Amino acid sequence: MTSKNLRADTVTLAGGVQLPQMGLGTWPLNDDEAAVAVKSALQIGYRHVDTAENYRNEVGVGQGIRDAGVAREEIFVTTKFNKEWHSVEGARTACEASLKRLGLDYVDLLLIHWPNPAQDRYVQAFEGLLKLRDAGLVRAVGVSNFKVAHLQKLFDAGLTPQVNQIELSPTRPRKELVALHRVHGIVTESWSPLDRGGDLLKADAIQKAAAAHGVTPAQVVLRWHVQQGLVAIPKSADPERQRLNLDVFGFALSAAEMAAIDALEQPEPKLLDADRFGH
């Protein structure tokens, strides 16, 4: 199962912007590594790249975009900002600094990286994001690592992010949060979608589906994400794994295979807790 002109399917964000369902994650690549990985991914057919101020690789990501020779308007670029910028003016400062490092004049999606509820300024940061969208510096706005209570506080202020990027995989499917997203028209993005390439890929349900479809275990896991409407951002610096990770739109898992993968959910999965952790 391989296709020549690889392209991800897209989902539509509230407001109409199209987001490719498979993106290249870039943490923990440094600038030099990111430039190589992003160029290779875009040449393979990726049209979505995920970075952040905190990864300290936006310069490299921008370089990779220029080196790939793909038109800017074809590429969906996401970045995120840290807690020191949680204010209306701060969001603008953070955005302008990211644009400068990336060498771009707009980003497609800007996210509040962590809610940092102890600081309690994410509502103001989100108001800043909306101003950036009005000004045309970002096409879509969202959050990352927000839990139900953090989203609720935004809803109470009349605010709805277009995306919430969260830690999500078959072992940690985050069902309550995803259900809430669906009610509010928020697209879910899965970070660490492969559980960082660990034991998940050895699970029986994954191995069996991989054999049945003639694909790799990672492709099965990524298909599980996109088949239920999630967006995944696997990181790979290896061109062959990049290609395989994108090539999941030409087969479908059966209902029984999806259910067997759903059963890998851990009762109390280890998650980074956004009430305690954040930057």
CA distance 34 to 101: 13
Q: Any bridge partners for residue 169, and if so which?
A: 172
Does residue 191 interact with ligand NDP by CB under 6 A?
yes
Does residue 6 interact with ligand NDP by CB under 6 A?
no
From the list 1-9, 171-179, 237-245, 262-270, the region that binds ligand NDP by CB under 6 A is 237-245
The sign one gets for the Cα dihedral 160, 165, 167, 172 is positive
Q: Which of 112, 235, 246, 260 is in the footprint of ligand NDP by CB under 6 A?
A: 235
Does residue 224 interact with ligand NDP by CB under 6 A?
no
- Is the peptide bond prior to 28 cis by the omega test (within 30 degrees of 0)? yes
Does residue 34 interact with ligand NDP by CB under 6 A?
no
How far CA 111 is from CA of 51, 54, 134, 162, 173, in Å, comes to 10, 12, 15, 10, 21
The phi-psi region of residue 191 (left if phi > 0; otherwise alpha if psi is between -120 and 50; otherwise beta) is: beta
Q: Which of 116, 144, 164, 188 is in the footprint of ligand NDP by CB under 6 A?
A: 144
Q: In what order do the strands lie in the sheet with 48-50?
A: 24-25, 48-50, 76-81, 107-112, 138-144, 163-167, 187-191, 231-232
Does residue 238 interact with ligand NDP by CB under 6 A?
yes
Q: Which of 178, 236, 260, 264 is in the footprint of ligand NDP by CB under 6 A?
A: 236
Does residue 237 interact with ligand NDP by CB under 6 A?
yes
Find the shortest distance in angstroms from Cβ 116 to ligand NDP: 12
Q: Which of 26, 79, 98, 116 is in the footprint of ligand NDP by CB under 6 A?
A: 26
For ligand NDP, which is the closer residue by CB, 205 or 256? Answer: 205
Question: Which token pair is 165?
Answer: 């990027």
Q: Tell me which residues in 82-121 interact with ligand NDP (CB under 6 A).
A: 113
Q: Which of 218, 220, 248, 261 is in the footprint of ligand NDP by CB under 6 A?
A: 218
Find the shortest distance in angstroms from Cβ 90 to ligand NDP: 19
How far CA 139 is from CA of 44, 60, 79, 107, 247, in Å, comes to 24, 22, 12, 7, 27
- Residue 106 a catalytic site member: no
For ligand NDP, which is the closer residue by CB, 57 or 260? Answer: 57
The sign one gets for the Cα dihedral 128, 15, 104, 98 is positive
Half-sphere exposure of 212 (CA within 13 A, CB side): 13
Give catalytic residue positions. 55
Binding residues for ligand NDP (CB under 6 A): 25-27, 50, 113, 144-145, 165, 191-197, 216, 218, 233-238, 241, 244-245
